[in-house]
Each structure stands twice: as structure tokens, then as C-alpha cells.
Amino acid sequence: KFERFWIKLSFGLIAFFIASVIYGFVSMDLKVVGDYQTIDPQNLGETEFAKTGVREVTKNGQTEYEVYVKTMQFAFQPGTASPIVVPANTRVTFYITSPDVLHGFDLAGTNINTMAIPGQVAKLTTIFPEPREYGIVCNEYCGPAHHIMEGKVKVV
Ligand code: CUA
């Protein structure tokens, strides 16, 4: 009786691996422009990071979005407690920094992937082509709860 369970489990695992390989192939290559700027990690309260989150801005007469994100042990702010919500087909620039230790900011299934470094602001600009949800994962070891550090971006 138990054997059946294990057979089912192993078929399930094989299906899962195949699915994840296919998912890897269809993962999105977004157009991303990025760079780093320096910042004083002790004084984020006196910078744009005093108020994290999504902002609508107008640049050259166009509506764009800026997203200020702090990565912290062990949450993305915003992203973890509440999702980052941005529209599709609109230019979105992420500004990401860390007040504590090195973290990662990786939108699973895309090439949006950067380190979040204390003292540096990672800047990434992209346009999401369609409404979709993306998981955010921290891919740099940042402490005992690193593995549960995750969040969500909701493209609407
Ligand atoms: Cu934050 Cu790992």
C-alpha cells in the first residue's frame, strides 16, 4: 500500500521538475537598464527612502513610476507585508537599497535581479508587458530567516 504512495510521489516529483524546466524556458527576458549610485546607509531617513513605495512621476510629459524598496532582515519594504503594485506597459524604475546587510532582489522568472547593498542604490528600469504577479526572492544569504524572505510584485 505504501509503495503506491511512493510511486505517486515520484511521478509527482518528475512532473514538477519537467514543469519547472518548461517554466524556466518561458521565463521572461525583460529589457532592463540598471546602475548603482552611492548612499549613506545611516541616513536613509533623509533620502527618498524615508518613504518607501510606489510613486507616480511625470518625465518628459510621460507618466512613469518609481518604486523605492528597502530590503531588510527579513522583508522587502514594500513587497512582503503588501505587494508592490505597478501598471503594465509603463516605465517602472526600481530603487533598491539595504539599511542592514547584503540582500538580493530577484523577480522570479525574469532577468530583474540585483544585489541590495548597504551604501548603494541599485536602479533598474523596465516595462512590464502584461498584467502578472511576480514573486520577489532574496538570493543573498542575509541571516537565519533568509529562506523566508520573499515578497510580491503585482503588475496590473
Ligand atoms: Cu535577505 Cu537573504
Write out pLDDT tens, residues 80-128: 999 999 999 999 999 999 999 999 999 998 889 999 999 999 999 999 9
- Residue 23: per-residue pLDDT: 56
In single-letter form, the type of residue at position 22 comes to I
The Cα 4–Cα 105 span in angstroms is 41
pLDDT value at 142 more than 90 = yes
In a domain, 101, yes or no: yes
Cβ 141 under 6 angstroms from ligand 1: yes
Question: Which CA distances in Å does 21 have to 11, 24, 103?
Answer: 15, 5, 26
- Residue 17: per-residue pLDDT: 72
In a domain, 55, yes or no: yes
- Residue 15: per-residue pLDDT: 78
In a domain, 12, yes or no: no
How many angstroms is it from 60 CA to the middle of ligand 1? 36
In a domain, 49, yes or no: yes
Residue range 45-93, pLDDT digits in tens: 999 999 999 999 999 999 999 999 999 999 999 999 999 999 999 999 9
In the chain, the number of structural domains is 1
In a domain, 9, yes or no: no
In a domain, 7, yes or no: no
Domain around 119: 29-155
Cβ 122 under 6 angstroms from ligand 1: no
In a domain, 136, yes or no: yes
In a domain, 19, yes or no: no
CATH code: domain of residue 120: 2.60.40.420
